[in-house]
Amino acid sequence: MAFSLIYIAAIFGIFYFLLIRPQQKKTKQLKDMRDSLKVGDTVVTIGGLVGKVVRATEEELTLSVGTGELTFKKWAIGNISES
């Protein structure tokens, strides 16, 4: 009986450290990146569209793409481009 409880606790510990904790860390890093976006940053959306931030609010970003501007929710930003 005690061995079964130890076994279950060990399995839960393995799942926590290999699956749950890294995912939480990645989610926090992505949220911090999105919160730090500012006008002038070049970003890539989760759909692959590249644009430069021209306006930023709490929930949305307006990107200059090509000859026009498009508005996106912050959650739609995949990463900040280096170029």
CATH code of the domain covering residue 71: 2.30.30.100
- To which residue do tokens 């759909």 refer? 47
pLDDT at residue 83 tops 70: no
Are residues 32 and 44 both part of a single domain? no
In the chain, how many domains are there? Answer: 2
Residue 28 CA from chain centroid, whole number:
7
Report the pLDDT value the prediction gives residue 34, as an integer from 0 to 100: 93
Higher pLDDT, 83 or 69: 69
Phi-psi region at 54: left, alpha or beta (left = phi > 0; alpha = psi -120 to 50)? alpha
Residues 55 and 83 in one domain: yes
- Give the per-residue pLDDT at 3: 81
Task: Supply the pTM of this predicted model.
Answer: 0.73
Compute and round to an integer the Cα radius of gyration of the chain.
20
For residue 17, what are the domain limits?
Answer: 1-36
